[in-house]
């Protein structure tokens, strides 16, 4: 199950060519997962900004189709169903989910990526069991 402020489950997805992509292998950069083709096209016009923010973006689909972003296939739709239509899943470089909801456009999506990039896991006190 995908939840805010929790690590992404270790899903395995496929590329259209059949290569298996294990989500934990995508650690190291901010991860953006989309299910909306229009939003994916809008984001490609701002690819330089996305790269400068050290983020990687993918379009999720249950079947192979044309995509302006790298396409990841979620045949059973488990991960796709967690993301609202015209929405995004944005996770930090450690794959902790920071945003799982609608976004209006590529600008708002990049604002979320900036927000996630500004977080500092070392700067936050861990939740104490006594609170």
Does residue 5 fall inside a structural domain?
A: no
Does residue 96 fall inside a structural domain?
A: yes
Please state, in angstroms and as integers, the Cα–Cα distance from residue 40 to each residue in 48, 70, 83, 88, following that order. 14, 10, 14, 10
Does residue 43 fall inside a structural domain?
A: yes
Q: Tell me, what's the pLDDT at 103?
A: 96
Q: Tell me, what's the pLDDT at 124?
A: 53
Average of per-residue pLDDT across 19-37: 95
Does residue 3 fall inside a structural domain?
A: no
Residues 6+ apart with CB under 8 A from 106: 39, 42, 43, 45, 46
Average of per-residue pLDDT across 33-61: 95
* pLDDT band, residue 130 (cuts 50/70/90): very low
- Out of 7-16, 89-98, 114-123, least confident range: 114-123
Domain count, the chain: 1
Does residue 129 fall inside a structural domain?
A: no
Domain of 73? Answer: 12-118
Task: Collapse the DSSP code of 102 into the 3-class scheme (helix H, G, I; strand E, B; otherwise coil) and give the result.
Answer: strand
Say if residue 127's pLDDT is above 70: no
pTM over 0.75: yes
Does residue 106 fall inside a structural domain?
A: yes
Looking up residue 113, the CATH number of its domain turns out to be 3.40.30.10
Does residue 73 fall inside a structural domain?
A: yes
Does residue 130 fall inside a structural domain?
A: no
């Amino acid at each position: 199950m995908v939840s805010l402020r929790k690590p992404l489950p270790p899903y395995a997805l496929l590329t259209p060519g059949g290569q298996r992509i294990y989500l934990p292998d995508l650690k190291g950069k901010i991860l953006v997962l989309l299910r909306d083709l229009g939003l994916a096209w809008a984001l490609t016009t701002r690819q330089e900004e996305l790269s400068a923010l050290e983020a990687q973006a993918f379009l999720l689909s249950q079947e192979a189709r044309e995509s302006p972003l790298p396409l990841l296939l979620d045949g059973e739709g488990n991960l796709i169903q967690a993301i609202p239509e015209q929405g995004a899943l944005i996770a930090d470089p450690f794959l902790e989910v920071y945003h799982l909801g609608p976004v209006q456009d590529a600008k708002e999506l990049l604002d979320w990526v900036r927000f996630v990039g500004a977080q500092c896991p070392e700067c936050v006190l861990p939740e104490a069991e006594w609170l």
